[in-house]
Amino acid sequence: MGRMIYTKVVIDMVTGKTLVQEGYRYDGEVAECKGGGGSVNSVDYEYNDRMATIAEEQQAWAKDYYKMWETYFKPYEIQQAQTNLQNLPLENSVYRGQLEAARDLLPLESGLYKQQLKAEAELLPQQTEATKNFLSASAKGVDVAERMGLAKADVSSAWKNVADATARSNARMGVNPNSGRYQGTQAALATQQAAQTAQAVTGARVGAEQENYDRLMKAASVSQNKLSGSPTNTIFQGLSFLGG
């Protein structure tokens, strides 16, 4: 049976009619038409055999695992399920008892909570006043200049005793107050006194400033607690409960 091999076809896209048609008759094999198809369908029998062997092995593994489960794990799971079913009524009874106990204690707990809220409400004025005094004292802080003056006075008092003792010692040894030895000793003592005074005053200033900073930090912490999670907040949150 001959076939028509078209080499040129022109079709009207509006009407669908064939306008030009050129070709020739061909009576040979279809494979000799030299078509443009490039795909080749071939079967890899060796690969298919290997995959079939692997599938059979996997199936055997699955059967072995199922036998192991059926022998060892299945009885355990069945017994565990039966035990759970047997314990279920007891567990429900215990849970019911807990609920009933909680229900019986509810009036007592509610009364205790009301008493706690009332006690906190009664203490609120004192707590507020104490907090106010604490914040005021923290904000005011300590007098840095006063601390420095006290430190200087303490050093001066201590060195006065040293100067008196040195003078008595020199007098016993017959050291002339106008001598160079005496003047050198006094100069050395004065230098030591000045160094200790400066150290004491600086330490007092640093300590007072640090104390004031710590006071402000504590005041800020107290203020934050008053705003977030203080007993006062609890009282206000419990007003509706007291009203009930």
Query: For the chain, what is the mean pLDDT?
Result: 78
More confident residue, 13 or 138: 13
Instruction: Kindly state the average pLDDT of the residues 107-115.
Output: 84
pLDDT above 60 (res 110): yes
**Residue 36: what pLDDT?**
52
The helix (run of H) or strand (run of E) holding residue 21 is strand 18-26
**Residue 236: what pLDDT?**
46
Q: Under 8 Å CB-to-CB from 84, ≥6 apart: which residues? A: none
Residue 41, amino acid: N
List the structure tokens of 32: 């000799």
List the structure tokens of 38: 């490039």
**Nearest residue to 217 (alpha-carbon basis) of 109, 139, 104:** 139
How far is it, in rounded angstroms, from Cα 186 to Cα 159?
Answer: 12
**Nearest residue to 22 (alpha-carbon basis) of 35, 11, 2, 7:** 7
Q: For 59-82, what is each residue's pLDDT tens digit?
A: 999 999 999 999 999 999 999 999
Q: For 131-171, what is each residue's pLDDT tens digit?
A: 677 677 666 777 888 888 888 888 888 777 776 777 777 77
Q: For 166-197, what is each residue's pLDDT tens digit?
A: 777 777 777 666 677 767 777 787 788 888 88
Q: How does DSSP classify residue 73? A: I
pLDDT above 80 (res 29): no
List the structure tokens of 82: 């039966």
The structure tokens 């001066």 sit at: 156
List the structure tokens of 8: 């040129």
**Nearest residue to 131 (alpha-carbon basis) of 31, 223, 59, 51:** 223
pLDDT above 70 (res 239): no
Instruction: Kindly state the average pLDDT of the residues 232-243.
Output: 46
Q: For 45-58, what is each residue's pLDDT tens digit?
A: 888 889 999 999 99
What separation, in Å, do the N-terminal and C-terminal C-alpha atoms of the chain show?
A: 103
Q: Is 0.75 surpassed by the pTM of this model?
A: no
Reported confidence tier of residue 83, pLDDT bands at 50, 70, 90: very high
